Structure 1
Amino acid sequence: MANWYRLTKALVLATGLMTSAAHAQETVVWWDFLAGGDGVRMKQLISDFNAAHQGEIKIDATTLEWGTPFYSKVQTSAAVGEAPDVMTYHASRIPLAVKQGILQEITPQDWNTMGLGKDDYAAATWDAVTVDGKQYAVPLDTHPIVLYYNKDLLAKAGVLGDDGKPKGMDSREGFEATLQALKDSGVKFPLGSVTADGNFMFRTIYSLMGQQDGELMTGNEFLAGDNAEKLQNALSVLQDWTKKGLQSTYTDYPATVALFTSGEAAMMINGVWEVPTMTDLQKEGKLFEWGAVELPVIFDHPSTYADSHTFAIPANKGEKMTAEKRAAVLEVISWISRNSLLWATAGHIPAYAPVTASADYKAMEPNATYSSLTSNMIFDPKTPLAGIAGPIFDVMSTYFVPTLNGEMEPAEAVEEIKLGLEDL
């Protein structure tokens, strides 16, 4: 109970409220959108928290549908004072949520109470939850895309380095040589990509723009200056891979995973959240030797698109959170952040730096190998138009699928994208 008393005491001293340290158990209503492998791990963390705080705090958790349904429900619920006490939230959606007025600020007092702060997070991750100098969420992780690879097939093709990683990762020419060698060795698809889903491919395309120091938004202008050219460059590379048979065509998300796990694709670009899939299959003896690394440098320098799962506190209209409830919520956020090594087994990179600096994390593979990309991460433009399932995603994804599959020229796609974005 020591942690609870310390938190309560700090809150009482900071606010000047008179309350007793002895009180009834607080129930914290929790919403998340976590399913699959990471959902299993979050449920375990919640169970562990409840066991460690028995009689003090209990998390009452509900998992809702990911994406637009989740965010729509949060918005409508907060408007009538029926949102949860705490919820998971994508960092990319925070600017819109702040504009809608549905998030409470995580105040300097809150950070002090939790014993967390700016120095505990990567600069890009901290910035992603900051709007106009205020923080509106606590980062739990970063979840970028990475390159998965089949060590057996790469070794057979002679493109597995002595370090156990793919050869040719430092240039477009080198990586394309690796893809071609895999094709020449008889591999059906050297690279599996989600080419039937423009929303997903936004992650890869934005990463390649970032490798050129490209920006989607400069001030309030979309694709200003030479940024349209940088987008065209990214699309041209990916279309070229498709035309040469180096990348899978019109492949949806489940099919991409299936191509890789069946050995039909030697490599795959996908999110770190697929690590549990690979880990579990290998434990069952159903998968080859595999690894995952940061994306290859196709242009000027490393850059990878990422988003963050965060913890946010809804601004429930007409409802004021008691000091005791807020202390309980902050304890939930702080405890799970500090115990996020288990969360790392879902493939995510914990945002709380002491966890990723630990010996246990550094021994965790492939996580430790690709976690270096945190110094090369780029997040969505900070605008209410961006974010998971947001308007920018929708406009751009419309043109990505035909372009990547060779049915539309990159220059034409960029022109249409720019017009569509300007209409926003």
Structure 2
Amino acid sequence: MGAGGVALGGTLAGCATPDAAGSGRTGVMIWDLFSGGDGALMQEMVGVVASANPDIAVESTTLAWGPPYYTKLAMASSGGKPPEAAVMHMSRLAGYAPGGLLEPFDLDKLAELGVGQEHFAPAVWEKAQFDGQLYALPLDTHPYIVFNNPTIVQEAGLATADGKLDLDALAGADNFLAAGRTLAEVTGETGVGWGYQRDPAGCWRMFWGLYSQNGGGYELTPGRPAALDEEAAAEVFEFLQAMVDGTVAAKNQDGNAASARFMAERTGMMFAGEWDLPMFREALPDVGATPFPAIFDTPANYADSHAFVLPRQEQADPAAREATYQVLAGLLKEGLTWASAGHIPAYQPIVEEPAYQELTPQRDYAAAAEVAVFDPDAWFTGGGSDFQVRMADAMTDTLAGEAPPRTAVTRMLSEMDRFLALPDPA
């Protein structure tokens, strides 16, 4: 993601609050990691909120996402002079809240602005907690879902009466594989698109979602060996090996190739993040999408969440903090704009609005937020982390059919032990 900045009512000032001196307005600076279409939507939302709050000088600054973004945020927080608020993937929260780099939200202040626990999916609200306090204010849920080509799905006999992909027909590993073979008969190539090569995040999202469906737990405690349900994990890899057979899904394929095949109608379904909706819809205007199918017994959908956090202030300005709450609450309530890119608004009143229910296929996968599962809680996990890269490396040989399922599990545990042996930099 590219770096840049857009000032609304203030002048770009590095890590400092926008200069509102002489204007009679309170300055609020927000760091985010959005570029491209997401960045444009965020700036539109910030503009609306700024116009509705003329007494607040709001400035939104976009930085390059990934390790550099989180390093800068940690350094600004530890130095005591960060922005008033910042966007963070909630999967990274465990690396920041325990180390004192963030401050908890005041639930009473949020309630005064019409924002409370009852307005969020339980799984999302729970992930935003640390030590019994709210450390993240979720903006969205962005799950790993299944896109589909309605024409191919209908020809394969896998559609419901209203033309949607029939998730019941995909429930269970055997049913899913059979459906994939049926779709392949229609396309003449493969049934399902999934590119695991050179896509560490995609590998991890697929595994962790399926592992959660299979009832798998974990223990990642410093000073102890990492623990997974090895039988449950091996069963996941057995399924993935069966899926990547050259018919259900292509062998040795990367994410770009999988997306291209789906958009060229050479496969009927596609595993991807909902953030790919704009790209797929440009090629397939009637593209469909659903939550992740229940391959195993427990409904679960891998997801992450963009959330607002309050970096630790060396000397907090009460007026700036009050203004920050007002701005963040306003941004949550602009969630319909954010939903246009595919993200599920975390603030559930938006999802319940008639205008959201008219968005297709967004409304069809909104239920994924109800069964969202996030990365395991550890300082080294989360979006854009080296952890996901190492986990993908550990499973690549198994996914390619060059090693048995147990090999991937053993290698993953070994890599987890390496992380657990490292000191927490926070």
Normalising by structure 2, we get a TM-score of 0.86
- 1:47 aligns with 47
Q: 1:222 to 1:183 in 2, by over 3 A?
A: farther
Quote the offset at 1:206 in angstroms: 0.9
The question of whether the paired residues in 1 share the 8 Å contact of 2:204 and 2:391 is answered with yes
Within 5 Å, which residues of 2 pair with 1:282-301?
286-287=283-284, 289-301=286-298
The question of whether the paired residues in 2 share the 8 Å contact of 1:198 and 1:401 is answered with no
Quote the offset at 1:392 in angstroms: 3.8
- 2:413 aligns with 418
- 1:320 aligns with 315
Quote the offset at 1:218 in angstroms: 7.0
Over residues 161-220 of structure 1, what are the superposed CA-to-partner deviations in whole Å (9 max), with x where a residue is unaligned? 323233422222222121101222244231111311232221111111111111233777
Which amino acid is the alignment partner of residue 396 of structure 1? Answer: M
Over residues 142-177 of structure 1, what are the superposed CA-to-partner deviations in whole Å (9 max), with x where a residue is unaligned? 111110001122233333332323342222222212
- 2:29 aligns with 29
Within 5 Å, which residues of 2 pair with 1:366-377?
366-377=361-372
Within 5 Å, which residues of 2 pair with 1:380-419?
380-390=375-385, 392-419=387-414
- 2:134 aligns with 135
Instruction: Give distance in 2, aligned partners of 1:402 and 1:24.
Output: 62
Q: 1:262 to 1:416 in 2, by over 3 A?
A: same
The question of whether the paired residues in 2 share the 8 Å contact of 1:113 and 1:330 is answered with no
The question of whether the paired residues in 2 share the 8 Å contact of 1:195 and 1:248 is answered with no
- 2:423 aligns with none
Instruction: Give distance in 2, aligned partners of 1:39 and 1:265.
Output: 31
The question of whether the paired residues in 2 share the 8 Å contact of 1:180 and 1:246 is answered with yes
Q: 1:172 to 1:369 in 2, by over 3 A?
A: same
- 2:300 aligns with 303
- 2:195 aligns with 194
SS at match of 2:242: helix
Where structure 2 has 5 or more consecutive residues not aligned to the other structure, the ranges are 1-21, 421-426
- 1:99 aligns with 98
Instruction: Give distance in 1, aligned partners of 2:245 and 2:379.
Output: 36
The question of whether the paired residues in 2 share the 8 Å contact of 1:202 and 1:396 is answered with yes
Instruction: Give distance in 2, aligned partners of 1:260 and 1:66.
Output: 27
- 2:3 aligns with none
Within 5 Å, which residues of 2 pair with 1:217-256?
217=219, 224=227, 227-256=229-258
The question of whether the paired residues in 1 share the 8 Å contact of 2:110 and 2:329 is answered with no
Which amino acid is the alignment partner of residue 175 of structure 2? Answer: G
Instruction: Give distance in 2, aligned partners of 1:53 and 1:254.
Output: 43
RMSD, aligned CA: 2.2
The question of whether the paired residues in 2 share the 8 Å contact of 1:33 and 1:63 is answered with yes
Where structure 1 has 5 or more consecutive residues not aligned to the other structure, the ranges are 1-21
- 1:268 aligns with 270
Is 1:361 aligned with 2:356?
yes
Which of 240, 257, 260 aligns to 1:258? It is 260
Which amino acid is the alignment partner of residue 172 of structure 1? Answer: A
Instruction: Give distance in 2, aligned partners of 1:245 and 1:69.
Output: 40
The question of whether the paired residues in 2 share the 8 Å contact of 1:145 and 1:271 is answered with yes
SS at match of 1:28: strand
Identity fraction in percent: 29
Q: 1:61 to 1:159 in 2, by over 3 A?
A: same
- 2:330 aligns with 335
The question of whether the paired residues in 2 share the 8 Å contact of 1:187 and 1:266 is answered with no
Runs of 4+ in structure 1 over 6 Å off: 218-223
Quote the offset at 1:328 in angstroms: 1.2
Over residues 43-78 of structure 1, what are the superposed CA-to-partner deviations in whole Å (9 max), with x where a residue is unaligned? 211122222223x12321121112211101111222
Quote the offset at 1:223 in angstroms: 6.2
Which amino acid is the alignment partner of residue 387 of structure 1? Answer: G
Instruction: Give distance in 1, aligned partners of 2:286 and 2:92.
Output: 36
